[in-house]
Amino acid sequence: YTSGRGFATYHHRPVPQLPRVGLYIGNIDELEPELRAGTIRGSGISCTTSCPTSVDRRVSRQPTTCTWHLTSCHILLQMFTKWVCFLSLLVLPAAQATAKNCSITFKANLPTILECPGTNIKFYFYEGDHQLQIVCSDKPNFRLLRRFQNPFHFTFQELVYKDCPLPAGNQSFVELLTPFLDRNQLYSIRSLFLDNNVKHNEQVDAQIFADLPLLTTLEIENWAEIDNPLLFEQLPHLAHLATSGRNNVSGKMLHPLQNLAQLTIKDMDIATLPTATVTNLTKLMMLTLTENKFERIEQLAELPKLMLLNLSSNHLTTLQKGVFDNLPTLYELYLSSNKLTSLPSGLFAKNKHLLSLVAVNQQGTGLVLEAGLFAGMKRLLNVVLSGNKITTLPERLFQNATRLTIIDLRDNRLQSLPKSLLSNSSNLKKLYLQHNELMHMLPDTLLHGAPQLRILNLSHNNLTTLSKHLLKSQIALEELHLKYNQLYTIDKDAFNSQSTSLKLLNLSHNRLALYENSSTTTSWISFSTLNQLLVLDLSYNAIAHISGHFRKLLGSLRSLDLSNNQITHIDIIDISFQSPHIKQLNLTSNYITHLDGFDINHTNTENHHPRKMLLADNPLNCDCPLIALLEAQSAVGIKFPLRGLRCVPFCEIDAYIGFCPNGCTCYKRPVERIAIVNCTAANLTRVPTIASPSIVDCDFIELHLEQNMLHDLANAGEGWNNVHKLYIANNSLATLTGDSLPEQLELLDVSGNQLTKLDVDFILKLDETPLSTISLSANPWECYCENAFLEYVTDNAALIADYSTLQCSDGQPINSHTLYSRCSTPSLSTFQARHFTGLWHKFDTRWIAAQQQQVDKRYDAYISYSPEDGKFVQQLITRLESDELNFQLCWDVRDFMPSMRIASQVSYGACFAQLYCTLYLLLLSPTIPQITQAIENSERIIIVLSRHYLESAWGQMEFSIAHLQSLVDRRNRIIPIIYDDIGNVGELEPELRAYLQNDTSLSWNDSRFWEKLRHVMSYKNRTADGQKGTNDTVSKRQKERQDVQKKVFKTFF
Which DSSP string corresponds to 345-356? TTTTTT-TT--E
Averaged pLDDT, 497-520 = 87
What contacts 753, CB < 8 A, 6 or more positions away? 728, 729, 730, 731, 732, 733, 734, 778, 779
Question: Which of 630, 647, 664 is where one domain is finished?
Answer: 647
Closest CA to 738 of 694, 780, 702, 769: 769
Question: Which of 620, 647, 674 is where one domain is finished?
Answer: 647
pLDDT score recorded for residue 691: 94
With contact defined as beta carbons under 8 Å apart, do 796 and 769 qualify?
no
Return mean pLDDT, the chain.
77
Closest CA to 189 of 161, 157, 164, 163: 157
pLDDT score recorded for residue 600: 47
pLDDT score recorded for residue 633: 55
**Residue 712: inside a domain:** yes
Lowest-confidence pick of 60-69, 430-439, 473-482, 960-969: 60-69
What contacts 942, CB < 8 A, 6 or more positions away? 861, 862, 863, 864, 876, 889, 975, 977
Cα 100 from Cα 16, distance rounded (Å): 31
Provide the 10 A C-beta neighbour count for residue 275: 13
Range 88-96 contact pairs with CB under 8 angstroms and sequence separation of 24 or more: 88/23, 88/25, 88/47, 91/4, 91/25, 91/26, 92/2, 92/7, 92/23, 95/2, 95/3, 95/4, 95/5, 95/6, 95/7, 96/6, 96/7, 96/69
Cα 289 from Cα 262, distance rounded (Å): 11
Please tell me which residue, 43 or 876, carries the higher pLDDT value.
Answer: 876
Please tell me which residue, 434 or 87, carries the higher pLDDT value.
Answer: 434
Lowest-confidence pick of 38-52, 324-338, 464-478, 751-765: 38-52
- 614 and 708 both lie in a single domain: no
What is the CA 43 to chain-centroid distance, rounded? 51
pLDDT score recorded for residue 80: 38
Helix locations, 640-745, DSSP H? none
Does residue 476 register a pLDDT over 90?
yes
First to last CA, the chain: 85
With contact defined as beta carbons under 8 Å apart, do 902 and 927 qualify?
yes
What contacts 199, CB < 8 A, 6 or more positions away? 163
* Cα dist from 629 to 1, 362, 609, 626, whole Å: 78, 58, 15, 5
Beta strand segments in 572-678, E: 584-586, 594-596, 612-614, 651-652, 665-669, 674-678
Q: What is the pLDDT confidence band of residue 342, given thresholds at 50, 70 and 90?
A: very high
Amino acid in the structure at residue 1022: R
pLDDT score recorded for residue 270: 78
Cα 189 from Cα 181, distance rounded (Å): 12
Cα 502 from Cα 350, distance rounded (Å): 40
**Residue 293: inside a domain:** no
Lowest-confidence pick of 122-131, 736-745, 1040-1049: 1040-1049
Q: What is the pLDDT confidence band of residue 629, given thresholds at 50, 70 and 90?
A: low
- 731 and 748 both lie in a single domain: yes
| Helix, strand, coil fractions of the chain, as percent rounded to 5 | 25, 20, 55
Helix 788-795 and helix 760-768, axial crossing angle in degrees, nearest 10: 30
Cα 598 from Cα 574, distance rounded (Å): 11
Amino acid in the structure at residue 170: N
With contact defined as beta carbons under 8 Å apart, do 585 and 574 qualify?
no
Lowest-confidence pick of 253-262, 526-535, 678-687, 1024-1033: 1024-1033
**Residue 176: inside a domain:** yes
* CATH number, domain containing residue 560: 3.80.10.10
- 659 and 615 both lie in a single domain: no
Please tell me which residue, 911 or 564, carries the higher pLDDT value.
Answer: 564
> CB-based burial of residue 1043 (10 Å sphere; 0-12 exposed, 13-18 middle, 19+ buried)?
exposed
What is the CA 1046 to chain-centroid distance, rounded? 56
Closest CA to 710 of 750, 744, 677, 671: 750
Number of structural domains (the chain) is 4
Cα 754 from Cα 733, distance rounded (Å): 5
Handedness of CA 164, 169, 170, 171 (dihedral sign): negative
pLDDT tens-digit series, residues 888-946: 999 888 887 654 445 444 443 334 334 444 444 444 455 667 787 888 888 889 999 88
Backbone dihedral angles phi then psi of residue 134, each to the nearest 5 degrees: -115, 115
Secondary structure class of 1028 (helix, strand, coil): coil
Is there a cis peptide before residue 898, judged by omega within 30 degrees of 0? no
Provide the 10 A C-beta neighbour count for residue 87: 14
Averaged pLDDT, 163-192 = 87
pLDDT score recorded for residue 162: 92
With contact defined as beta carbons under 8 Å apart, do 281 and 254 qualify?
yes
pLDDT score recorded for residue 637: 54
pLDDT score recorded for residue 51: 32
**Residue 1007: inside a domain:** yes
Closest CA to 192 of 203, 170, 177: 177
Amino acid in the structure at residue 296: R
Secondary structure class of 992 (helix, strand, coil): helix
What is the CA 122 to chain-centroid distance, rounded? 37
- 746 and 808 both lie in a single domain: yes
Cα 265 from Cα 536, distance rounded (Å): 49
pLDDT score recorded for residue 660: 94
Lowest-confidence pick of 60-69, 377-386, 641-650: 60-69
- 659 and 621 both lie in a single domain: no
Does residue 1017 register a pLDDT over 90?
no
Strand 665-669 vs strand 651-652: parallel, antiparallel, or unpaired?
antiparallel
- 771 and 756 both lie in a single domain: yes
* CATH number, domain containing residue 899: 3.40.50.10140
Q: What is the pLDDT confidence band of residue 853, given thresholds at 50, 70 and 90?
A: very low
Range 850-854 contact pairs with CB under 8 angstroms and sequence separation of 24 or more: 850/936, 851/969, 851/1029, 851/1034, 851/1037, 852/1031, 852/1034, 854/1028, 854/1029, 854/1030
Please tell me which residue, 622 or 287, carries the higher pLDDT value.
Answer: 287
Does residue 198 register a pLDDT over 60?
yes
* Cα dist from 655 to 157, 534, 628, 675, whole Å: 91, 49, 21, 13
Cα 521 from Cα 117, distance rounded (Å): 85
Q: What is the pTM of this model?
A: 0.59
> CB-based burial of residue 916 (10 Å sphere; 0-12 exposed, 13-18 middle, 19+ buried)?
middle
DSSP 8-state secondary structure symbol assigned to residue 309: E
Enumerate helices (H) and strands (E) in the chain, giving the number of each.
21, 50
> CB-based burial of residue 600 (10 Å sphere; 0-12 exposed, 13-18 middle, 19+ buried)?
middle
Residue-number span of the structural domain to which 112 is assigned: 103-195
**Residue 744: inside a domain:** yes
**Residue 28: inside a domain:** no
- 609 and 496 both lie in a single domain: yes
- 797 and 675 both lie in a single domain: yes
Closest CA to 44 of 14, 9, 79, 15: 9
pLDDT score recorded for residue 823: 58
Strand 859-864 vs strand 938-945: parallel, antiparallel, or unpaired?
parallel
What contacts 336, CB < 8 A, 6 or more positions away? 312, 313, 358, 359, 360, 361
Does residue 8 register a pLDDT over 80?
no
With contact defined as beta carbons under 8 Å apart, do 300 and 326 qualify?
yes
pLDDT tens-digit series, residues 140-150: 888 888 888 77
**Residue 637: inside a domain:** yes
- 683 and 635 both lie in a single domain: no
- 546 and 693 both lie in a single domain: no
pLDDT tens-digit series, residues 589-601: 998 887 776 654 4
Cα 526 from Cα 502, distance rounded (Å): 13
**Residue 306: inside a domain:** no
Cα 346 from Cα 936, distance rounded (Å): 86
- 187 and 130 both lie in a single domain: yes
- 864 and 982 both lie in a single domain: yes
Closest CA to 744 of 710, 712, 701, 688: 701
Helix 953-969 and helix 1034-1052, axial crossing angle in degrees, nearest 10: 150
Cα 185 from Cα 150, distance rounded (Å): 11
Handedness of CA 289, 294, 300, 301 (dihedral sign): negative
Question: Which of 174, 195, 216 is where one domain is finished?
Answer: 195
Lowest-confidence pick of 408-417, 432-441, 826-835: 826-835
Closest CA to 899 of 929, 875, 879: 929
Averaged pLDDT, 427-449 = 96
pLDDT score recorded for residue 848: 35
Does residue 680 register a pLDDT over 90?
yes
Cα 973 from Cα 988, distance rounded (Å): 19
Q: What is the pLDDT confidence band of residue 583, given thresholds at 50, 70 and 90?
A: confident
